[in-house]
Structure 1
Amino acid sequence: MKKLIIINGPNLNLLGKREPEIYGSQTFEDYFENLESKYNDISLEYYQSNIEGELIDKLQEVGFSYDGIILNAAAYTHTSVGIGDAIKGIETPVVEVHISNTFSREEFRHQSYISPNAKGVILGFGLKSYDLAIESFN
């Protein structure tokens, strides 16, 4: 059984409340339950932190033993050399995910420190972006 983890960065704990016109009205916890049901042949885990160092620690913890990492580093995507370096230093492939199309938003969101080290990038499909990322590991 494949072992995948979804790692979400800052403010994604507010999904369902934060800017529903961009991010929708469903909480990630509810959505994750749907993912677990839909992909019951995959061992799926979920982790979220608003703290950059905790995200790096989690990447290093799972980065040599899991089959895949789905990472939405949120705002850290555009600022964190450290997260980019952590991905470069692990063996587990990482798919970068964004709920919104970051290229249709503010200019600073067009830069990613994750993309150069990722297996692939999926953005702009709402929460469905996570489904697409999971499918990429099949």
Structure 2
Amino acid sequence: MHYKFRLQKLLDMRQEKEDEKKRELMKAMSHKQQIENKIKQFEESYDEYRQIPLEKSIVEKKITQRYLNSLTTLIEENKKELKKHEKITEEKRIELVSAQVERKTVEILKEKDYERAVKEAALKEQNQIDEFALYGYVRRER
């Protein structure tokens, strides 16, 4: 039996769309991870310089304090950016799930159509067998 799904092009397009959404999600997750890593580095650097030794000069203390203030600002900005990218990542995840549902819908149609085609082929084959049996019976009865 040769089976060809009439909506194969649609299924292929839906699969491509799903693959694209997967790539977009992975890209968004990667960017989010980069931001998290930056925040971690800034926080580690902040913790390293947070304790200003008393033996430092006033100029060194001021420089260190300005650096700490700069790190605090960077941490806050990156946390805002992280929240924005968490939202983007969640949107990409929702888009992927939607694309998966669309693809799965067409796959289910394909499976049902294939089952129908198999049943139809089996019925044709059974009808042919019945006809051959009938011809054989008619020949013997003559």
> Which TM-score tier does this pair reach, normalised by the shorter chain?
under 0.3
Q: TM-score, normalised by structure 2?
A: 0.16
If asked which structure has higher relative contact order (CA below 8 Å, sep 6+), I would say 2
Q: TM-score, normalised by structure 1?
A: 0.16
Structure with max Cα Rg: 2
